[in-house]
């Protein structure tokens, strides 16, 4: 399973050990972990099992109350404690960008009419501001000193990310309202993305036109299929190409 799930389950067992799966599940769900990590019921029981197989957890025993399903209780092994420390460290030291559900939308934004894009952006901004306010409100109201850090810092990070997204959305909104970019149904924009104009040329084996898509710092020298330039002169999957 993903290292997030491993860390979360390991951490949860570590706190409450010995615990059984259902308790871990309730705990994790009470953290709203389903909203920022992959923790569906099945994932938890699976994590418990596979980490037991890997020697990170061990079964303390099983009990049964009435005719209910048996409960299996787990606790960390020494290995598990090591792995927990290691995963926690990794999480904090490795800087990873979160998987962003909006990215695909951005890459394909040109396929939307400008009016809708503008409307959607306005909606996103308003919505995000609402969520922002509500989160801030929770922080301000929150009094339990015991879970100060976990809850408040989580909320603060959420707010910070929201702020970032709101700022970006405003900028893009301004650009779109100013007529920047070419969206669906405009000028030379392609409506359905059918075979590109100019696709007549039989895609000659050009040597290696640079295709600078998000050429960032991290992970230099990947061995993945290197971008091959397409007919049309190294476009990055863009829709445009005047006929």
Q: List residues near DNA by CB under 7 A.
A: 1-2, 5, 20-23, 26, 38-43, 45-47, 50, 65-72, 205, 223, 225-226, 228
Instruction: Name the binder of 108 from a copy of itself, DNA, none, CB < 5-8 A by kind.
Output: a copy of itself
**Count of all residues that appear for the chain in the document:** 243
Closer of 102 and 206 to a copy of itself (Cβ): 102
The answer to whether the beta carbons of residues 55 and 47 sit under 8 Å apart is no
User: Which one, 62 or 171, has the nearer CB to a copy of itself?
Assistant: 171
CA distance 154 to 159: 9
Tokens 């810092």 — which residue?
Answer: 153
Q: Going edge to edge, which strands form the sheet with 19-20?
A: 19-20, 71-76, 57-63
Closest CA to 1 of 85, 113, 107, 87: 87
How far apart are CB 59 and DNA at their closest, in Å?
10
Interface of this chain with a copy of itself, residues 137 to 166, rule: CB under 8 A: 138, 141-142, 144, 146-151, 153-165
- Within 8 A by CB and 6+ apart from 163, the residues are 132
Smallest separation (angstroms) from DNA to the CB of 185: 31
43 binds, among DNA, a copy of itself, none (CB under 5 to 8 A by kind): DNA
Q: Within 10 Å of residue 96's Cβ, how many Cβ atoms?
A: 8
Please report, as residue ranges, which positions from 23 to 52 form the binding site for a copy of itself (by CB under 8 A): 25-27, 29-38
Q: Residue 72: how many CB atoms within 10 A of its CB?
A: 19
Please choose which of DNA, a copy of itself, none residue 42 contacts, taking the beta carbon within 5 to 8 angstroms, the exact cut-off set by kind: DNA
Q: Could you tell me if residue 107 is left (phi over 0), alpha (psi between -120 and 50 degrees) or otherwise beta? A: alpha
CA distance 139 to 151: 8
Q: Does 205 bind a copy of itself (CB under 8 A)?
A: no
What is the pairing mode between strands 19-20 and 57-63? unpaired
Task: Determine, following the binding rule CB under 8 A, whether residue 54 of this chain makes contact with a copy of itself.
Answer: no
Report the alpha-carbon distance of residue 200 to residue 193 in Å, rounded: 15
Q: Determine, following the binding rule CB under 8 A, whether residue 122 of this chain makes contact with a copy of itself.
A: no
Indicate whether 198 belongs to the interface with a copy of itself (CB under 8 A): no
**Partner from a copy of itself, DNA, none binding residue 164, C-beta < 5-8 Å depending on class:** a copy of itself
Residues numbered 62-81 forming contacts with a copy of itself, rule: CB under 8 A: 81
Among DNA, a copy of itself, none, the one that 77 touches (CB under a kind-dependent 5 to 8 A) is none
Q: Which is nearer to a copy of itself, 74 or 84 (CB)?
A: 84
């Amino acid at each position: 399973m993903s290292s997030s799930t491993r860390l979360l389950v390991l951490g949860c067992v570590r706190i409450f050990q010995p615990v059984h799966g259902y308790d871990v599940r309730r705990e994790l769900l009470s953290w709203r972990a389903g909203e920022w990590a992959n923790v569906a019921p099945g994932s938890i029981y699976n994590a418990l099992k596979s980490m037991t197989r890997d020697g990170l957890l061990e079964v303390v025993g099983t009990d049964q109350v009435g005719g209910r399903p048996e409960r299996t209780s787990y606790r960390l092994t020494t290995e598990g404690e090591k792995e927990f420390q290691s995963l926690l460290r990794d999480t904090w030291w490795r800087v990873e960008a979160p998987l962003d559900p909006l990215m695909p939308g951005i890459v394909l934004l040109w396929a939307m009419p400008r009016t809708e894009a503008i409307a959607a952006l306005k909606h996103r901004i308003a919505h995000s501001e609402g969520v922002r306010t509500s989160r801030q409100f929770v922080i301000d109201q929150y009094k339990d000193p015991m879970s100060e850090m976990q809850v408040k810092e989580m909320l603060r990070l959420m707010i910070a990310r929201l702020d970032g997204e709101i700022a970006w959305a405003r900028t893009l909104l301004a650009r779109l309202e100013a007529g920047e970019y070419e969206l669906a149904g405009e000028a030379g924009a392609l409506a359905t993305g059918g075979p590109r104009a100019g696709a007549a040329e039989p895609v000659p084996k050009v040597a290696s036109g640079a295709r600078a898509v998000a050429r960032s710092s991290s992970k230099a020298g990947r061995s993945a299929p290197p971008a091959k330039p397409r007919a049309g002169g190294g476009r990055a999957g863009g829709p445009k190409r005047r006929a």
